[in-house]
Amino acid sequence: MPRLEAPALETPAAELRPIRVLLVEDEFFISEWVAESLSDQGFAVRAVSNAADALRLLKSSPVDVLFTDINLPGSIDGTALARQAREMLPDLPVVYASGRVDYLDPRLRVSGSLFVAKPYVPELVGRLLADVVRETAQRVPA
């Protein structure tokens, strides 16, 4: 009697690993809350509190999406961070966040980026981050 085998599932490796989020947020409690919520949703989250640490991490670790506050301490704000990140990783999805909705001049945003107004619901941000990573993966050949 012939043996029946289930067809092999062809799942791209990218779908097997969690989405790697670089969270840049200088407010400690917000950072902890969002990082924990995103981790609970299955994301691999690296949280830093300033742009300099974010740039160092981008140079040394793989990242699928940058989720950054706009108003950051130091000489590099979230918009400058995103521009520098895109110089290193041209296809990196970027999502900005700020409590000041009018704070982000659209001309300062990197192309294709999104903006989330604070306060936000981390579960909804998780869906947004997953969607933007999937959309980028569909546009950019592996």
| Strand residue runs (E) in 25-100 | 44-48, 65-69, 94-98
Q: 108: buried, middle or exposed (CB in 10 Å: 19+, 13-18, 0-12)?
A: middle
Share of the chain above pLDDT 90, in %: 75
pTM (predicted TM-score): 0.86
* Every domain of the chain and the residues it spans: 17-139
Digit-coded pLDDT (tens) for 22-40: 999 999 999 999 999 999 9
Residues 6 or more apart in contact with residue 35 via CB below 8 angstroms: 23, 45, 47
Q: Name the CATH topology of 17-139.
A: Rossmann fold (3.40.50)
